[in-house]
């Protein structure tokens, strides 16, 4: 158990819909990273929050947004879903801004029908 909690574990929805994925970091960790993992793309960095502020963006689509709340949990919002958004979405937390090391949650498997 990494101490990072992600909900839900599985999500099945249809194209055009909107979903929210949730991540609670390990106790004491201020950094939250979001990643997308699909079969042909490996682990792709989406966005990084530190202590409530966005600190870095990766290959995150405009249809996706995220935030980190005062209690440090984070949410990733995916809207206007497309078939290609089907993937495993991981969050990882770290105590530091540098994110070294990172501890991953168990992920949310998103399936778009």
Partner 1 sequence: GENVEQHPSTLSVQEGDSAVIKCTYSDSASNYFPWYKQELGKRPQLIIDIRSNVGEKKDQRIAVTLNKTAKHFSLHITETQPEDSAVYFCAAPRGASGGSYIPTFGRGTSLIVHP
Of 93, 105, 110, 112, the one binding partner 1 (CB under 8 A) is: 105
Q: What part of residues 6-45 is at the interface with partner 1 (CB under 8 A)?
A: 33, 42-43, 45
Q: What part of residues 43-102 is at the interface with partner 1 (CB under 8 A)?
A: 43, 45, 48, 50, 55-56, 58, 90, 97-102
Quote the Cα angle for 34-35-39, to 5°. 160
Strands 42-50 and 31-38: antiparallel
Q: Provide the minimum distance between the beta carbon of 53 and partner 1 in the complex, in angstroms, as a whole number.
A: 9
Beta carbons of 72 and 32 less than 8 angstroms apart: yes
The total of other beta-carbon atoms located within 10 Å of residue 72's CB is: 21
Size of the site for partner 1 (CB under 8 A): 22
Beta carbons of 49 and 70 less than 8 angstroms apart: no
Residues near partner 1, by CB under 8 A = 2, 33, 42-43, 45, 48, 50, 55-56, 58, 90, 97-107
């Amino acid at each position: 158990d990494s101490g990072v909690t992600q909900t839900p574990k599985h999500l099945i929805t249809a194209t055009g819909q909107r979903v929210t994925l949730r991540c609670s970091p390990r106790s004491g960790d201020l950094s939250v990273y979001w990643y997308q993992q699909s079969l042909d793309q490996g682990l792709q960095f989406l966005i990084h929050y530190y202590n409530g502020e966005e600190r870095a963006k990766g290959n995150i689509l405009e249809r996706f947004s995220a935030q980190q709340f005062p209690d440090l949990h984070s949410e990733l919002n995916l809207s206007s879903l497309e078939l290609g958004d089907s993937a495993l979405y991981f969050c990882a937390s770290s105590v530091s801004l540098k994110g070294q090391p990172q501890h991953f949650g168990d992920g949310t498997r998103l399936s778009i029908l």
